Homo-oligomer: A and B are copies of this chain.
């Protein structure tokens, strides 16, 4: 937690905030070893970053005086990430990684090799997804939450949503064996599509290429989804 991310209900007025949830209180006490008088980095969800001073801390609440909120959050990555739904633990970590890296649009997609049971996981509940996104923002000192949407059927996504998404973005399908190595340092908006453990099936690859995506690869090593997504984003942007 490199940032105290304040939700609207944490703000008492323009200059005072209170934090009452156990997770952040425990972090302040046990990890930061925070003391009254400490200056910390604060940010308002969706807004600016600044500094504030801890004026009270006990097991029930932390009070902050906000000194300034004048820094814009770091730039977002110009990417819409489409991720075949990973298994729950991998999903949790991947959401944190990509949020910390600056992704603002995430679509979780069903594909043939996604186990159907993953869609029933508690990790997909909105409050759990929100929690992982917040952890990513707190890590990277960002304030703007990504949007996450769920596409539980492959065909309607490819036929009805993908063409619109590709109108203003370069479509990149990351899949082993594709003809081109992942490009480096592109500076245009992109839609990056990453398959499940075990990969897309040939039919899915064909449909995504037909829709206008370029097939790219990261070499002959097979990476876990959470490693691959970080490696791809870091190389692309």
Contact = CB atoms under 8 A, between A and B. Distances in A.
A97 interface: yes
Interface residues of A, number: 27
Contacts of A15: none
A19 B7 CA distance: 53
A207 interface: no
Given A185-B184, A231-B230, A140 B222 contact: yes
Interface in A130-160: 139-142
A211 to B, nearest CB: 26
Contacts of A141: 220-222
Given A184-B184, A184-B185, A185-B184, A230 B234 contact: yes
A74 B227 contact: no
A141 B233 CA distance: 22
A223 B142 CA distance: 11
A100 B139 contact: no
A235 interface: yes
Contacts of A184: 184-185, 235
A185 B184 CA distance: 8
A224 interface: yes
Contacts of A224: 96-97, 100, 139
Given A221-B141, A222-B141, A227 B101 contact: yes
Contacts of A100: 221-224, 227
Contacts of A142: 221
Nearest to A140: B221
A96 B222 CA distance: 12
Contacts of A219: 74
Determine which residue in A2, A74, A102, A231 has the highest number of CB atoms from chain B within 10 A of its CB, and name it.
Answer: A231
6 contacts: A100-B222, A100-B224, A139-B222, A139-B224, A184-B185, A227-B230
